[in-house]
Amino acid sequence: MAIRDILEFPDPRLRTVAKPVEVVDDQIRALIDDMFETMYDAPGIGLAATQIDVHLRVLTIDLSDEHNEPLVLINPEFEVLDEEPHKYQEGCLSVPGFFEDVVRPQKIRVQALDRNGDTLDFIADDLLAVCIQHEIDHLNGKLFVDHISALKRNRIRTKLEKKHRLEAAHA
Ligand code: QAP
Ligand code: CO
C-alpha cells in the first residue's frame, strides 16, 4: 500500500473525465487500498481516483471518526429522490484550507459496484448524499468550487497558486 500525492486546484488534470472500470480485479483493489490509505492519512472523508491522477470511476468514503466504515463505489450512478435543496459547507482535499456552502439535492438513490464487483443499490441522504455527489463530480472533472461564485473561485485559485509557487521555491 502507498500514500499517493493529491492533485490540487487549479491543476488541469482534475478536469479529466474518468473512464468506467471494466473489470474489478486485484489491480483495482490495490488502487482502492491506496485510496483509503491516502484518504485516512490526509485525513479526509471522501476521495475520488481523479484526485490521485488515476482516471477511473472509483471513489472511497468513510464518514466515521474511527475510520471503520469504509465505503467503495465503482462506476457510481445516482438519481435524485428529493430535489429539496440542502446546503452544506464543503471542503476538498484538492482545495486545501477552503470551505464554502454548496447546495445539492438532499436525497439520492445510488447504484455502483463494490470491491468484489457486486452490485450496490441504496438510498443516501444528508452528509452521505453530499459526499457521494461531491465525489462523483470529481469523476466528471468537476470541483465544489464550480458550484460557488466566480469571484470566490478566483480568490481561491489565486491563493492556492501562490501557495504552490512558495512550495516549489522551497522544494
Ligand atoms: C468531500 O472532503 C466532502 O480543506 C470530502 O484543509 C466535504 O474529505 C464531502 C479536508 C464536505 C461532503 C462534505 C479539506 C481536509 C478534507 C481541507 C474532505 C483540509 C483538510 C476534505
Ligand atoms: Co473533493
Instruction: Give SS3 for 31.
Output: helix
Ligand number with the minimum distance to the CA of 41: 1
Q: What is the pLDDT of residues 99-157, one digit of tens each?
A: 999 999 999 999 999 999 999 999 999 999 999 999 999 999 999 999 999 999 999 99
Distance of alpha carbon 50 from alpha carbon 121, whole angstroms: 23
Distance of alpha carbon 154 from alpha carbon 23, whole angstroms: 39
Distance of alpha carbon 59 from alpha carbon 132, whole angstroms: 9
Instruction: Inform me whether the pLDDT recorded for 39 exceeds 90.
Output: yes
| Residue pair 7/52 in contact by the 8 Å Cβ criterion | yes
C-alpha cell at 84: 429539496
Closest protein CA for atom 8 of ligand 1? 44
| Residue pair 38/52 in contact by the 8 Å Cβ criterion | yes
CB atoms within 10 A of CB 58: 29
92, 125, 143, best to mutate for ligand 1 pocket (most atoms within 8 Å of CB) = 92
C-alpha cell at 149: 461564485
Closest protein CA for atom 13 of ligand 1? 90
Instruction: Inform me whether the pLDDT recorded for 84 exceeds 90.
Output: no
Band of residue 80 on the pLDDT scale cut at 50, 70, 90: very high
Separation of CA 92 and ligand 2 centre (Å): 4
Average pLDDT of the segment spanning 34-53? 98
* pLDDT for 83: 85
What size, in residues, is the chain? Answer: 171
